[in-house]
Amino acid sequence: MRLIDFFERGLRYWPESPCLVDYSGSMSYKEVNARSHQTASAMVDHGLRPGDIVAILSQNCSKAFEAWIGAARADGVWVGLAALNSVSENVYILNHRSANWLFIHSDFEDQIEQIKDQCPNLQHIIVLDKKIQKFLTLDEFITGYSENFEELDYNRDAIISHFSSGGTTGQPKGAIWSSLTWQAWSSNIYAHLPIKKRPVHLVASSMAHGAGVFAWPAMAFGGTIVSIPRADPKSVLGAIQDHSVTHTFLPPTVIYMMLSDPDAKNYDCSSMDYLVYGGAPMSADRVSEAIEVFGPCMTQIYGQAECPVTIGILTPEEHVEAVKDQEKKHRLLSCGRPPVFVRTEIMSDDGLLLEPREWGEIVVRGEIVSLGYYGDPKATAEIQEYGWHHTGDVGYKDEDGYIYIVDRKKDMIISGGLNVFPIEIERLIWSFEEVQDCVVIGVPDDKWGEAVKAVVELKDGQNLTEETIIKKCKNDLASYKVPKTVEFWDELPRSPVGKVLKKDVRKQFWSGVERKI
Protein backbone atom coordinates (compact mmCIF):
# COMPACT_ATOMS: atom_id res chain seq x y z
CA MET A 1 0.00 0.00 0.00
CA ARG A 2 1.01 3.63 -0.54
CA LEU A 3 1.70 5.91 2.41
CA ILE A 4 -1.43 7.93 1.60
CA ASP A 5 -3.49 4.75 2.06
CA PHE A 6 -2.97 4.99 5.84
CA PHE A 7 -4.69 8.39 5.77
CA GLU A 8 -7.34 7.14 3.33
CA ARG A 9 -8.44 4.42 5.75
CA GLY A 10 -8.97 6.97 8.50
CA LEU A 11 -10.90 9.16 6.07
CA ARG A 12 -13.12 6.28 4.98
CA TYR A 13 -14.38 5.40 8.46
CA TRP A 14 -13.99 8.65 10.44
CA PRO A 15 -14.44 11.53 7.93
CA GLU A 16 -15.81 14.01 10.47
CA SER A 17 -13.35 13.15 13.26
CA PRO A 18 -10.50 15.55 14.05
CA CYS A 19 -7.39 14.63 12.09
CA LEU A 20 -4.89 17.47 12.73
CA VAL A 21 -4.85 19.61 15.88
CA ASP A 22 -2.40 22.30 16.94
CA TYR A 23 -2.37 25.82 18.42
CA SER A 24 -4.28 27.13 15.39
CA GLY A 25 -7.26 24.82 15.77
CA SER A 26 -8.61 21.51 14.51
CA MET A 27 -9.21 20.05 11.06
CA SER A 28 -11.32 16.98 10.29
CA TYR A 29 -10.26 14.14 8.01
CA LYS A 30 -12.69 15.47 5.40
CA GLU A 31 -11.11 18.95 5.52
CA VAL A 32 -7.53 17.64 5.42
CA ASN A 33 -8.46 15.36 2.53
CA ALA A 34 -9.75 18.24 0.41
CA ARG A 35 -6.59 20.28 1.01
CA SER A 36 -4.35 17.28 0.33
CA HIS A 37 -5.98 16.86 -3.09
CA GLN A 38 -5.38 20.55 -3.77
CA THR A 39 -1.76 20.29 -2.64
CA ALA A 40 -1.12 17.27 -4.85
CA SER A 41 -2.81 18.97 -7.82
CA ALA A 42 -0.76 22.13 -7.36
CA MET A 43 2.52 20.23 -7.02
CA VAL A 44 1.94 18.16 -10.15
CA ASP A 45 0.91 21.28 -12.07
CA HIS A 46 4.21 22.86 -11.00
CA GLY A 47 6.23 19.93 -12.29
CA LEU A 48 6.32 17.32 -9.50
CA ARG A 49 6.93 13.83 -10.78
CA PRO A 50 6.61 10.64 -8.70
CA GLY A 51 9.90 10.13 -6.90
CA ASP A 52 10.85 13.81 -6.68
CA ILE A 53 12.28 14.80 -3.30
CA VAL A 54 10.03 16.93 -1.06
CA ALA A 55 11.66 18.27 2.11
CA ILE A 56 9.85 19.81 5.07
CA LEU A 57 11.52 22.11 7.61
CA SER A 58 9.15 23.05 10.39
CA GLN A 59 8.38 23.02 14.05
CA ASN A 60 5.68 20.48 14.84
CA CYS A 61 2.43 21.85 13.42
CA SER A 62 -0.60 20.83 11.38
CA LYS A 63 0.51 22.74 8.27
CA ALA A 64 3.65 20.60 8.08
CA PHE A 65 1.54 17.43 8.22
CA GLU A 66 -0.77 18.89 5.55
CA ALA A 67 2.21 19.33 3.23
CA TRP A 68 3.43 15.80 3.95
CA ILE A 69 0.00 14.26 3.29
CA GLY A 70 -0.38 16.22 0.06
CA ALA A 71 3.10 15.28 -1.13
CA ALA A 72 2.43 11.61 -0.30
CA ARG A 73 -0.75 11.74 -2.40
CA ALA A 74 1.35 12.91 -5.36
CA ASP A 75 4.06 10.25 -4.71
CA GLY A 76 6.65 12.78 -3.62
CA VAL A 77 9.49 11.34 -1.55
CA TRP A 78 9.51 12.85 1.94
CA VAL A 79 12.68 14.12 3.60
CA GLY A 80 12.18 15.50 7.10
CA LEU A 81 14.55 18.21 8.33
CA ALA A 82 14.86 18.42 12.11
CA ALA A 83 13.97 21.82 13.53
CA LEU A 84 17.12 21.86 15.66
CA ASN A 85 19.46 21.20 12.74
CA SER A 86 21.98 23.89 11.90
CA VAL A 87 21.41 25.66 8.60
CA SER A 88 24.60 24.08 7.23
CA GLU A 89 23.28 20.61 8.05
CA ASN A 90 19.95 21.37 6.37
CA VAL A 91 21.80 22.66 3.30
CA TYR A 92 23.88 19.48 3.24
CA ILE A 93 20.82 17.22 3.42
CA LEU A 94 18.93 19.16 0.75
CA ASN A 95 21.88 19.01 -1.64
CA HIS A 96 22.80 15.42 -0.87
CA ARG A 97 19.23 14.24 -1.51
CA SER A 98 18.87 16.50 -4.59
CA ALA A 99 15.69 17.97 -3.11
CA ASN A 100 13.39 19.68 -5.62
CA TRP A 101 10.83 21.03 -3.13
CA LEU A 102 10.99 22.64 0.30
CA PHE A 103 8.04 23.44 2.56
CA ILE A 104 9.33 25.68 5.33
CA HIS A 105 7.81 27.31 8.43
CA SER A 106 8.21 31.02 9.03
CA ASP A 107 10.16 30.24 12.21
CA PHE A 108 13.06 29.57 9.83
CA GLU A 109 12.76 32.79 7.87
CA ASP A 110 16.41 33.62 8.59
CA GLN A 111 17.47 30.42 6.76
CA ILE A 112 15.45 30.84 3.57
CA GLU A 113 17.84 33.02 1.57
CA GLN A 114 20.90 30.96 2.53
CA ILE A 115 19.12 27.74 1.61
CA LYS A 116 17.93 29.23 -1.69
CA ASP A 117 21.42 30.45 -2.59
CA GLN A 118 23.24 27.25 -1.62
CA CYS A 119 20.77 24.63 -2.90
CA PRO A 120 20.70 24.90 -6.71
CA ASN A 121 18.43 21.87 -7.15
CA LEU A 122 15.57 23.49 -5.21
CA GLN A 123 12.92 24.61 -7.67
CA HIS A 124 10.11 25.47 -5.26
CA ILE A 125 10.11 26.95 -1.74
CA ILE A 126 6.67 27.19 -0.12
CA VAL A 127 6.16 28.89 3.26
CA LEU A 128 3.73 26.88 5.36
CA ASP A 129 2.08 29.50 7.51
CA LYS A 130 2.52 33.19 6.57
CA LYS A 131 3.79 35.50 3.86
CA ILE A 132 7.55 35.99 3.64
CA GLN A 133 8.94 38.14 0.85
CA LYS A 134 8.10 36.81 -2.61
CA PHE A 135 7.55 33.19 -1.53
CA LEU A 136 4.07 31.69 -1.80
CA THR A 137 2.32 30.48 1.32
CA LEU A 138 0.77 27.01 1.32
CA ASP A 139 -2.70 28.58 1.19
CA GLU A 140 -1.72 30.73 -1.80
CA PHE A 141 -0.05 27.80 -3.53
CA ILE A 142 -3.11 25.53 -3.45
CA THR A 143 -5.85 28.15 -4.01
CA GLY A 144 -8.02 27.29 -7.02
CA TYR A 145 -6.67 23.79 -7.49
CA SER A 146 -8.84 20.70 -7.80
CA GLU A 147 -10.06 18.74 -4.79
CA ASN A 148 -10.27 15.63 -7.01
CA PHE A 149 -6.69 14.64 -7.69
CA GLU A 150 -6.65 11.42 -9.73
CA GLU A 151 -5.26 8.48 -7.77
CA LEU A 152 -1.86 7.29 -8.97
CA ASP A 153 -0.98 3.67 -9.72
CA TYR A 154 0.51 1.62 -6.90
CA ASN A 155 4.14 0.58 -7.21
CA ARG A 156 5.11 -1.78 -4.41
CA ASP A 157 8.80 -1.02 -4.91
CA ALA A 158 8.40 2.75 -4.91
CA ILE A 159 10.60 4.81 -2.61
CA ILE A 160 8.46 6.73 -0.12
CA SER A 161 10.99 8.54 2.06
CA HIS A 162 14.61 9.17 2.87
CA PHE A 163 15.01 9.00 6.63
CA SER A 164 18.09 10.79 7.92
CA SER A 165 20.40 8.88 10.23
CA GLY A 166 21.17 10.58 13.53
CA GLY A 167 24.32 12.24 12.28
CA THR A 168 26.09 11.62 15.58
CA THR A 169 29.13 10.13 13.82
CA GLY A 170 29.36 12.46 10.82
CA GLN A 171 27.12 13.90 8.12
CA PRO A 172 23.65 12.30 8.19
CA LYS A 173 23.02 9.59 5.61
CA GLY A 174 19.69 9.06 3.89
CA ALA A 175 18.18 5.65 4.66
CA ILE A 176 15.84 4.72 1.79
CA TRP A 177 12.37 3.50 2.84
CA SER A 178 10.05 1.76 0.40
CA SER A 179 6.33 1.02 0.71
CA LEU A 180 7.25 -2.37 2.17
CA THR A 181 9.44 -0.74 4.82
CA TRP A 182 6.49 1.31 6.07
CA GLN A 183 4.14 -1.67 5.92
CA ALA A 184 6.49 -3.96 7.83
CA TRP A 185 7.12 -1.60 10.72
CA SER A 186 3.44 -0.61 10.93
CA SER A 187 2.51 -4.29 11.02
CA ASN A 188 4.88 -4.80 13.94
CA ILE A 189 3.32 -1.87 15.78
CA TYR A 190 -0.22 -3.16 15.22
CA ALA A 191 0.79 -6.69 16.28
CA HIS A 192 2.56 -5.76 19.50
CA LEU A 193 0.92 -2.44 20.47
CA PRO A 194 -2.70 -3.11 19.46
CA ILE A 195 -5.11 -0.21 19.09
CA LYS A 196 -7.38 -0.10 22.16
CA LYS A 197 -9.45 2.96 21.25
CA ARG A 198 -9.38 5.62 18.55
CA PRO A 199 -5.83 6.97 18.87
CA VAL A 200 -4.79 10.47 19.85
CA HIS A 201 -1.11 10.73 19.00
CA LEU A 202 0.91 13.58 20.50
CA VAL A 203 3.77 14.87 18.35
CA ALA A 204 6.01 16.56 20.91
CA SER A 205 9.50 15.47 19.88
CA SER A 206 10.59 16.13 16.30
CA MET A 207 8.10 15.17 13.60
CA ALA A 208 11.13 14.66 11.33
CA HIS A 209 11.94 11.55 13.36
CA GLY A 210 10.01 8.93 15.33
CA ALA A 211 7.17 11.17 16.49
CA GLY A 212 6.17 11.96 12.92
CA VAL A 213 6.52 8.39 11.70
CA PHE A 214 4.15 7.14 14.43
CA ALA A 215 1.41 9.44 13.12
CA TRP A 216 0.68 7.40 9.99
CA PRO A 217 -0.38 4.08 11.55
CA ALA A 218 -2.49 6.12 13.99
CA MET A 219 -4.27 7.83 11.08
CA ALA A 220 -5.26 4.44 9.66
CA PHE A 221 -7.51 4.07 12.72
CA GLY A 222 -8.93 7.60 12.54
CA GLY A 223 -6.34 8.93 14.96
CA THR A 224 -6.06 12.58 15.90
CA ILE A 225 -2.55 14.00 15.46
CA VAL A 226 -1.91 16.67 18.10
CA SER A 227 1.21 18.78 17.47
CA ILE A 228 2.98 21.00 19.97
CA PRO A 229 6.07 23.03 18.98
CA ARG A 230 8.45 21.66 21.56
CA ALA A 231 8.71 18.93 24.18
CA ASP A 232 9.01 20.91 27.39
CA PRO A 233 7.62 18.93 30.36
CA LYS A 234 4.59 21.07 31.23
CA SER A 235 3.49 21.38 27.59
CA VAL A 236 3.66 17.60 27.16
CA LEU A 237 1.84 16.88 30.41
CA GLY A 238 -0.76 19.55 29.65
CA ALA A 239 -1.38 18.21 26.15
CA ILE A 240 -1.80 14.64 27.43
CA GLN A 241 -4.42 15.83 29.89
CA ASP A 242 -6.24 18.32 27.64
CA HIS A 243 -6.47 16.09 24.55
CA SER A 244 -6.78 12.67 26.24
CA VAL A 245 -3.66 11.51 24.43
CA THR A 246 -3.31 7.74 23.96
CA HIS A 247 0.08 7.57 22.20
CA THR A 248 3.27 9.58 22.21
CA PHE A 249 6.95 9.01 21.45
CA LEU A 250 9.60 10.75 23.57
CA PRO A 251 13.34 10.45 24.16
CA PRO A 252 14.29 9.43 27.71
CA THR A 253 15.72 12.90 28.41
CA VAL A 254 12.25 14.44 28.10
CA ILE A 255 10.69 11.72 30.26
CA TYR A 256 13.32 12.40 32.92
CA MET A 257 12.42 16.09 32.90
CA MET A 258 8.71 15.24 33.16
CA LEU A 259 9.39 13.00 36.15
CA SER A 260 11.41 15.79 37.76
CA ASP A 261 8.51 18.24 37.46
CA PRO A 262 7.02 18.60 40.96
CA ASP A 263 3.51 18.83 39.47
CA ALA A 264 3.80 15.71 37.29
CA LYS A 265 1.51 13.60 39.47
CA ASN A 266 -1.19 16.29 39.38
CA TYR A 267 -1.83 15.82 35.64
CA ASP A 268 -4.37 13.27 34.45
CA CYS A 269 -2.49 10.82 32.22
CA SER A 270 -5.02 8.00 32.54
CA SER A 271 -5.85 8.13 28.80
CA MET A 272 -2.34 6.93 27.88
CA ASP A 273 -2.09 3.50 26.26
CA TYR A 274 1.52 3.78 25.06
CA LEU A 275 4.22 6.18 26.22
CA VAL A 276 6.91 5.04 23.83
CA TYR A 277 10.54 5.81 24.49
CA GLY A 278 13.63 5.04 22.46
CA GLY A 279 16.83 6.48 21.08
CA ALA A 280 18.68 5.93 24.35
CA PRO A 281 18.33 3.55 27.31
CA MET A 282 16.55 4.34 30.57
CA SER A 283 17.62 3.05 33.97
CA ALA A 284 15.40 0.45 35.64
CA ASP A 285 14.68 2.78 38.56
CA ARG A 286 13.50 5.55 36.23
CA VAL A 287 11.26 3.14 34.30
CA SER A 288 9.65 2.04 37.56
CA GLU A 289 9.12 5.68 38.56
CA ALA A 290 7.55 6.45 35.16
CA ILE A 291 5.07 3.58 35.51
CA GLU A 292 4.08 4.94 38.92
CA VAL A 293 3.49 8.45 37.52
CA PHE A 294 2.07 7.73 34.03
CA GLY A 295 0.49 4.33 34.56
CA PRO A 296 1.02 0.98 32.82
CA CYS A 297 1.78 2.52 29.43
CA MET A 298 5.57 2.50 29.24
CA THR A 299 6.78 1.02 25.96
CA GLN A 300 10.36 0.72 24.80
CA ILE A 301 11.26 0.44 21.14
CA TYR A 302 14.64 -0.18 19.60
CA GLY A 303 15.16 0.94 16.05
CA GLN A 304 17.28 3.01 13.71
CA ALA A 305 16.81 5.18 10.65
CA GLU A 306 17.90 2.11 8.69
CA CYS A 307 15.45 -0.21 10.53
CA PRO A 308 12.50 1.87 11.67
CA VAL A 309 11.35 1.48 15.24
CA THR A 310 10.96 -2.26 15.59
CA ILE A 311 14.22 -4.15 15.96
CA GLY A 312 13.00 -4.86 19.49
CA ILE A 313 9.87 -4.01 21.50
CA LEU A 314 9.30 -4.14 25.27
CA THR A 315 5.54 -3.86 25.71
CA PRO A 316 3.63 -2.24 28.60
CA GLU A 317 2.67 -5.66 29.88
CA GLU A 318 6.31 -6.73 29.96
CA HIS A 319 7.24 -3.53 31.80
CA VAL A 320 4.61 -4.15 34.48
CA GLU A 321 5.58 -7.80 34.82
CA ALA A 322 9.23 -6.88 35.28
CA VAL A 323 8.39 -4.30 37.95
CA LYS A 324 6.26 -6.75 39.93
CA ASP A 325 8.51 -9.82 39.59
CA GLN A 326 11.97 -9.34 41.07
CA GLU A 327 13.32 -12.24 39.00
CA LYS A 328 12.30 -10.46 35.80
CA LYS A 329 13.35 -6.92 36.75
CA HIS A 330 16.52 -7.24 34.68
CA ARG A 331 14.31 -7.19 31.55
CA LEU A 332 13.82 -3.45 32.09
CA LEU A 333 17.46 -3.10 31.06
CA SER A 334 16.71 -4.84 27.77
CA CYS A 335 15.07 -3.33 24.71
CA GLY A 336 12.55 -6.13 24.44
CA ARG A 337 12.27 -9.00 22.00
CA PRO A 338 12.21 -8.98 18.20
CA PRO A 339 8.67 -8.43 16.91
CA VAL A 340 6.91 -10.88 14.67
CA PHE A 341 7.87 -9.35 11.29
CA VAL A 342 11.61 -9.05 11.87
CA ARG A 343 14.50 -11.33 12.72
CA THR A 344 17.12 -9.95 15.11
CA GLU A 345 20.29 -11.90 15.92
CA ILE A 346 23.77 -11.45 17.39
CA MET A 347 26.72 -11.86 15.02
CA SER A 348 30.46 -12.29 15.49
CA ASP A 349 32.99 -10.24 13.52
CA ASP A 350 33.43 -13.14 11.09
CA GLY A 351 29.72 -13.45 10.31
CA LEU A 352 28.68 -16.28 12.64
CA LEU A 353 25.39 -16.11 14.54
CA LEU A 354 26.00 -16.43 18.27
CA GLU A 355 24.30 -18.30 21.08
CA PRO A 356 22.43 -16.71 24.01
CA ARG A 357 24.62 -14.59 26.32
CA GLU A 358 27.40 -14.30 23.75
CA TRP A 359 28.32 -10.72 22.90
CA GLY A 360 28.47 -9.54 19.32
CA GLU A 361 26.94 -7.07 16.89
CA ILE A 362 23.15 -6.86 16.69
CA VAL A 363 22.06 -7.66 13.12
CA VAL A 364 18.64 -7.59 11.48
CA ARG A 365 16.74 -9.16 8.57
CA GLY A 366 13.25 -8.39 7.28
CA GLU A 367 11.22 -5.99 5.21
CA ILE A 368 11.76 -3.21 7.77
CA VAL A 369 15.39 -2.96 6.70
CA SER A 370 15.85 0.06 4.45
CA LEU A 371 17.09 -0.44 0.90
CA GLY A 372 20.39 1.23 1.71
CA TYR A 373 21.84 4.73 1.79
CA TYR A 374 20.92 7.23 -0.89
CA GLY A 375 23.90 7.91 -3.15
CA ASP A 376 26.33 5.85 -1.05
CA PRO A 377 26.79 2.31 -2.42
CA LYS A 378 29.98 1.76 -0.42
CA ALA A 379 28.32 2.47 2.94
CA THR A 380 25.31 0.40 1.83
CA ALA A 381 27.53 -2.61 1.08
CA GLU A 382 29.28 -2.28 4.43
CA ILE A 383 26.09 -2.14 6.44
CA GLN A 384 24.63 -5.15 4.57
CA GLU A 385 27.61 -7.48 4.96
CA TYR A 386 26.81 -11.21 5.18
CA GLY A 387 23.23 -10.47 4.03
CA TRP A 388 22.21 -8.84 7.33
CA HIS A 389 21.78 -5.22 8.35
CA HIS A 390 24.54 -4.30 10.80
CA THR A 391 23.29 -1.95 13.52
CA GLY A 392 26.71 -0.99 14.89
CA ASP A 393 25.40 -1.91 18.37
CA VAL A 394 27.10 -4.51 20.54
CA GLY A 395 24.75 -6.69 22.56
CA TYR A 396 23.46 -10.13 23.42
CA LYS A 397 20.19 -12.02 23.75
CA ASP A 398 19.22 -13.99 26.82
CA GLU A 399 17.62 -17.43 26.80
CA ASP A 400 14.14 -15.86 26.55
CA GLY A 401 15.07 -13.79 23.50
CA TYR A 402 15.36 -10.38 25.19
CA ILE A 403 17.92 -8.11 23.55
CA TYR A 404 20.45 -6.26 25.71
CA ILE A 405 22.46 -3.45 24.13
CA VAL A 406 25.90 -3.34 25.66
CA ASP A 407 27.22 -0.35 23.72
CA ARG A 408 27.86 1.20 20.35
CA LYS A 409 30.58 -0.77 18.62
CA LYS A 410 32.57 2.41 17.99
CA ASP A 411 32.16 3.68 21.59
CA MET A 412 34.11 0.87 23.23
CA ILE A 413 37.01 2.06 25.40
CA ILE A 414 40.27 0.11 25.42
CA SER A 415 42.02 0.87 28.71
CA GLY A 416 45.20 -0.99 29.55
CA GLY A 417 44.36 -3.53 26.86
CA LEU A 418 40.96 -4.31 28.41
CA ASN A 419 37.62 -3.63 26.72
CA VAL A 420 35.32 -1.27 28.63
CA PHE A 421 31.72 -0.72 27.49
CA PRO A 422 30.56 2.71 28.72
CA ILE A 423 26.88 1.80 29.04
CA GLU A 424 27.54 -0.40 32.06
CA ILE A 425 29.11 2.54 33.90
CA GLU A 426 26.55 5.04 32.67
CA ARG A 427 23.67 2.95 33.99
CA LEU A 428 25.30 2.91 37.41
CA ILE A 429 25.74 6.69 37.43
CA TRP A 430 22.15 7.19 36.22
CA SER A 431 20.98 5.46 39.40
CA PHE A 432 21.91 8.56 41.43
CA GLU A 433 18.77 10.63 41.99
CA GLU A 434 20.78 13.81 41.49
CA VAL A 435 21.87 12.86 37.95
CA GLN A 436 19.98 14.15 34.90
CA ASP A 437 22.24 12.45 32.35
CA CYS A 438 25.81 11.35 31.79
CA VAL A 439 28.28 9.95 29.28
CA VAL A 440 31.34 7.82 29.85
CA ILE A 441 34.23 8.15 27.39
CA GLY A 442 37.87 7.26 27.04
CA VAL A 443 40.33 10.15 27.28
CA PRO A 444 44.06 10.20 26.39
CA ASP A 445 46.29 8.70 29.05
CA ASP A 446 50.03 8.00 28.87
CA LYS A 447 49.77 4.92 31.08
CA TRP A 448 46.47 3.32 30.04
CA GLY A 449 46.18 4.52 26.45
CA GLU A 450 42.64 5.55 27.31
CA ALA A 451 41.45 6.41 30.80
CA VAL A 452 37.77 6.04 31.71
CA LYS A 453 36.12 9.40 32.35
CA ALA A 454 32.53 10.29 33.31
CA VAL A 455 30.96 13.59 32.28
CA VAL A 456 27.81 14.25 34.31
CA GLU A 457 24.87 16.65 33.99
CA LEU A 458 23.03 17.14 37.30
CA LYS A 459 19.39 18.04 37.82
CA ASP A 460 18.71 21.68 38.60
CA GLY A 461 19.66 22.56 42.16
CA GLN A 462 21.30 19.20 42.89
CA ASN A 463 24.82 18.53 44.14
CA LEU A 464 27.01 15.46 43.82
CA THR A 465 30.74 14.96 44.23
CA GLU A 466 33.30 13.16 42.15
CA GLU A 467 34.30 11.14 45.21
CA THR A 468 30.74 9.86 45.76
CA ILE A 469 30.40 8.64 42.17
CA ILE A 470 33.82 6.97 42.12
CA LYS A 471 33.13 5.27 45.46
CA LYS A 472 29.90 3.71 44.16
CA CYS A 473 31.64 2.59 40.96
CA LYS A 474 34.42 0.95 43.01
CA ASN A 475 31.80 -0.94 45.01
CA ASP A 476 29.88 -2.22 42.00
CA LEU A 477 32.36 -2.54 39.12
CA ALA A 478 35.63 -4.22 38.29
CA SER A 479 38.52 -1.89 39.07
CA TYR A 480 39.50 -1.32 35.42
CA LYS A 481 35.97 -0.01 34.69
CA VAL A 482 35.96 2.62 37.44
CA PRO A 483 36.23 6.20 36.10
CA LYS A 484 39.59 7.75 36.84
CA THR A 485 37.93 11.17 36.84
CA VAL A 486 34.44 12.67 36.91
CA GLU A 487 33.61 16.07 35.41
CA PHE A 488 30.36 18.02 35.85
CA TRP A 489 28.87 20.03 32.97
CA ASP A 490 25.87 22.34 33.16
CA GLU A 491 24.45 20.74 30.01
CA LEU A 492 25.53 17.89 27.76
CA PRO A 493 25.37 18.48 23.98
CA ARG A 494 22.45 16.77 22.27
CA SER A 495 21.27 15.99 18.75
CA PRO A 496 17.90 17.26 17.43
CA VAL A 497 16.25 14.06 18.69
CA GLY A 498 17.65 14.33 22.21
CA LYS A 499 20.57 11.90 22.00
CA VAL A 500 23.67 12.97 23.86
CA LEU A 501 26.37 13.68 21.29
CA LYS A 502 29.13 11.57 22.73
CA LYS A 503 31.44 12.48 19.85
CA ASP A 504 31.16 16.17 20.81
CA VAL A 505 32.01 15.40 24.43
CA ARG A 506 34.89 13.20 23.34
CA LYS A 507 36.19 15.92 21.02
CA GLN A 508 36.80 18.21 24.00
CA PHE A 509 39.45 15.82 25.33
CA TRP A 510 41.02 14.51 22.11
CA SER A 511 41.53 17.82 20.33
CA GLY A 512 45.16 18.09 19.20
CA VAL A 513 45.88 14.45 19.99
CA GLU A 514 47.13 12.61 16.92
CA ARG A 515 45.98 9.18 18.07
CA LYS A 516 42.16 9.07 18.54
CA ILE A 517 41.83 5.75 20.34
- What pLDDT does 288 receive? 85
Q: Residues 362, 452: one domain?
A: no
C-alpha dihedral sign at 396, 400, 403, 405: negative
- Identify the pLDDT of residue 286: 82
48 three-state secondary structure? coil
Q: What is the pLDDT of residue 516?
A: 39
Q: Does any domain span residue 238?
A: no
DSSP secondary structure of 169-218: TSSPPEEEEEHHHHHHHHHHHHHHS---SS-EEEE-S-TTTHHHHTHHHH
pTM of the model: 0.82
Residue 41 domain flag: yes
Residue 75 lies in a domain: yes
Q: In this structure, are residues 279 and 265 in contact, taking their beta carbons and an 8 Å threshold?
A: no
pLDDT of residue 168: 41
Question: What residue numbers bound the domain in which 52 lies?
Answer: 4-230
Whether residues 363 and 465 fall in one domain:
no
Among 408, 440, 455, residue at a domain's last position: 408
- What's residue 284's pLDDT? 73
Q: Is 399 helix (H, G, I), strand (E, B) or coil?
A: coil
Question: Domain check: are 74 and 135 in the same one?
Answer: yes
* 374 and 429 share one domain: no
The neighbouring-strand residues paired with 364 are: 344, 389
**Which uninterrupted H or E stretch holds 71?**
helix 62-73
* The last residue of a domain, from among 213, 230, 247: 230
Number of independent structural domains in the chain: 3
Residue among 485, 486, 487, 505 at smallest CA distance from 445: 485
- The CATH number covering residue 463 comes to 3.30.300.30
Mean pLDDT by 10 residues, the chain (517 residues): 95 98 97 98 97 96 98 96 84 94 96 95 96 95 95 89 68 88 93 96 91 95 96 95 96 86 94 88 78 94 88 95 88 91 94 95 94 92 94 93 83 74 88 94 81 95 95 88 95 82 88 50
| CB neighbour class for 235 (10 Å; exposed up to 12, middle 13-18, buried from 19) | middle
Residues 456 and 370 in one domain: no
Within-domain flag for 16 = yes
Distances (CA, A) of 44 to 2, 47, 201, 306: 17, 5, 30, 29
